[in-house]
């Protein structure tokens, strides 16, 4: 037995030694792999830097000195539009920067913007080829992400004629009125007995999402009385995940040569979400295909699919639903939040608007879209808020498909171009007393396309402007007409902004709200 025990001990010792050697070798291998990866990454970044240094110096727009490899990324501080404005005051209205290896041009005057989107409109009619366009926008095939060409022109035609035409929008008027009444009823419920504290951002988001999804799919997903609690919760989660992922900066977007590295698993997260979203949207289409009595945009598009399948494929319809939900909701909700913020900061404007509503509409009903022509001041209020607090202060970035010239400077192919509308909207050479909220400045005057740009300019301007203006005007008119509003005593009220995808208030807007006496009869009618 002692001899057997000795043999066992020797074997155990040998096995332990072997395992230890394996661990040591594995550790060394992993260390060598990490070192190799680090050296490869360093060499790649140095190669990028050398390539940039060796490029011939053409007449590029001026800009601040950059750092090797990262360019001007160290200068980017939120709010970025304010940072760009400060830099452009030093380097001029056509300024260049580098975001990693991406060449960027920022324009900050109406003249430069006009040159971009008139003379260079076709060259700049593209979007940057970012990761989210590939994995969250059906491989660059949605209206927001597709490159300029026949496919994009078809999507633009489809959206303009089949979704945003006056006839089509009129057919969905009852949805807009119903959602405004839902919002008014929710506020009345909590404020009918006196002032109540309300947070408006979430209410505006619920309303705008419901308007879009009821138009597109005939379903109500937000707020009270939703169509299918589980389905609604799933849609909300998908939307939250989509917003969160598009806020993340992808290193490969700034250094395309590093695009093969899935840093932080961002690509995998986008792929997973796109698959979930696709299943959700396909289910909506399949439901409408099996029930042709539904009245929605999906039903209408499926009818067109029967005769023109190449223009109205399932993929195109899903992309339209997605972009309507993403682009057609948050910007309108954030704009309404800014409008209410400006009205509470300028109570004389709020008072004037209410007096006009009382005179033109009365107390027996909520205002309707047929009242818009009698209430130009209300729409001037919205445009003045667009001017001071644009939700897209740099517009959506454009991308040059070829070399072009802006302001006499050479802009090479593959350049990202930003138009700093925030700076233009506050330029004292263009606007009298530019920091004052004064809706009267828009009376008896047409909106200069390159002087105020709430919906963008050029071929890629937002086609949803008619719907957005209808929703915002109807909603804000109802809130002004139906409630007394005041800043909450003792709480700080500021107008600080933060730019993520859209420019939002740092703090969600909270106000005191009280139903006006006539509202009870309107709500209970």
Residue numbers belonging to the annotated binding site: 462
Place of tokens 């004292």: 428
CA distances from 278 to 137, 238, 249, 252, 306 (A): 10, 10, 23, 24, 21
Terminal Cα distance for the chain, rounded = 99
Enumerate residues 6+ apart whose C-beta is below 8 A from 60.
96, 409, 410, 411, 412
| Token representation of residue 108 | 């900050």
The residue with tokens 């009385």 is 225
Task: Name the DSSP class of 126.
Answer: B
Whether the Cβ atoms of residue 324 and residue 210 lie closer than 8 Å to each other: no
- Annotated binding residues for heme, written as ranges, equal 462
Exposure string (b/e) for 250-271, b if CB count within 10 Å is 16 or more?
bbbbbbeebbeebeeebbebbe
Structure tokens at 454: 């709430």
Please state, in angstroms and rounded to a whole number, the distance separating the CA atoms of residues 366 and 184.
10
What whole-number distance in Å separates Cα of residue 427 and Cα of residue 35?
52
Task: Return d(Cα 337, Cα 76) in angstroms, integer.
Answer: 26
Taking the C-alpha atoms of residue 191 and residue 194, their distance in angstroms, rounded to an integer, is: 5
The C-alpha atoms of residue 467 and residue 323 are separated, in whole angstroms, by 14
Quote the tokens at residue 73.
């990324």
Antiparallel, parallel or unpaired: β 398-399 and 416-419 = antiparallel
User: Which of 220, 197, 198 is CA-nearest to residue 208?
Assistant: 220
Compute the chain's Rg from CA coordinates: 28
| Count of C-beta atoms within a 10 Å radius of residue 2 | 6
Pair of tokens at residue 299: 């039903």
Read off the DSSP letter of residue 154: H
Q: Which helix (H) or strand (E) holds 332?
A: helix 330-345
Structure tokens at 79: 């709010």
Name the residue among 233, 186, 236, 169 with its Cα closest to residue 209: 236
Quote the DSSP letter at residue 1.
-
Give the residue among 207, 240, 255, 226 at the shortest CA–CA distance from 103. Answer: 255
Asked if the peptide bond before residue 79 counts as cis, ω within 30 degrees of 0, the response is yes
Q: Which residue has the tokens 């909270």?
A: 510
């Amino acid at each position: 037995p002692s001899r057997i025990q000795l043999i066992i001990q020797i074997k155990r010792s040998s096995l332990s030694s072997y395992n230890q050697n394996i661990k040591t070798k594995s550790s060394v291998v992993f260390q060598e792999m990490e070192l190799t990866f680090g050296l490869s990454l360093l060499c790649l970044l140095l190669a990028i830097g050398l390539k940039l240094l060796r490029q011939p110096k053409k007449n590029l727009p001026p800009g601040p000195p950059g750092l090797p490899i990262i360019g001007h990324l160290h200068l980017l501080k939120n709010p970025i539009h304010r940072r760009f404005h400060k830099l452009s005051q030093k380097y001029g209205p056509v300024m260049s920067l580098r975001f990693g290896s991406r060449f960027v041009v920022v324009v900050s005057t109406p003249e430069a913007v006009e040159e971009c989107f008139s003379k260079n409109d076709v060259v700049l009619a593209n979007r940057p080829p970012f990761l989210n366009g590939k994995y969250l926008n059906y491989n660059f095939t949605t209206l927001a992400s597709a490159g300029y060409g026949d496919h994009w022109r078809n999507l633009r035609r489809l959206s303009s004629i089949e979704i945003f035409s006056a006839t089509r929008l009129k057919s969905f008027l009852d949805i807009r009125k119903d959602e405004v009444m839902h919002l008014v009823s929710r506020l009345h419920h909590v404020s009918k007995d006196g002032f109540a504290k309300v947070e408006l951002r979430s209410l505006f988001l619920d309303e705008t999402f419901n308007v879009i999804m009821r138009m597109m799919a005939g379903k109500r997903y937000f707020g009270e009385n939703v169509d299918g609690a589980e389905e609604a919760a799933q849609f909300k989660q998908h939307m939250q995940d989509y917003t969160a992922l598009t806020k993340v900066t992808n290193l490969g977007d700034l250094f395309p040569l590093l695009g093969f590295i899935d840093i932080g698993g961002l690509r995998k997260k986008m792929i997973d979400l796109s698959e979930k979203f696709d299943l959700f949207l396909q289910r909506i289409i399949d439901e409408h295909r099996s029930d042709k009595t539904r009245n929605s945009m999906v039903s209408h598009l499926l009818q067109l699919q029967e005769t023109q399948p190449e223009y109205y494929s399932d993929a195109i319809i899903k992309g339209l639903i997605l972009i309507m939900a993403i682009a057609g909701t948050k910007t309108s909700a954030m704009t309404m939040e800014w409008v209410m913020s400006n009205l509470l900061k300028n109570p004389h404007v709020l008072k004037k608007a209410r007096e006009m509503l009382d005179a033109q509409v009365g107390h027996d009903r909520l205002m309707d879209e047929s009242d818009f022509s009698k209430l130009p001041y209300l729409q001037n209020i919205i445009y003045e808020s667009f001017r001071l607090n644009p939700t897209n202060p740099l517009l959506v970035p454009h991308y040059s498909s070829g070399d072009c010239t802006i302001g006499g400077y050479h802009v090479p192919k593959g350049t990202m171009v930003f138009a700093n509308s925030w700076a233009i909207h506050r330029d004292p050479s263009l606007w009298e007393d530019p920091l004052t909220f004064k809706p009267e400045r828009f009376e008896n005057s047409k909106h200069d396309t390159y002087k105020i740009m709430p919906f963008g300019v050029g071929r890629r301007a937002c086609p949803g402007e008619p719907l957005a203006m209808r929703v915002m005007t109807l909603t804000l008119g109802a809130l002004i007409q139906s409630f007394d509003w005041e800043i909450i005593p003792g709480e700080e009220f500021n107008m600080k902004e933060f730019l993520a995808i859209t420019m939002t208030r740092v703090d969600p807007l909270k106000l005191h709200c009280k139903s006006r006496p006539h509202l009870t009869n309107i709500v209970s009618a």
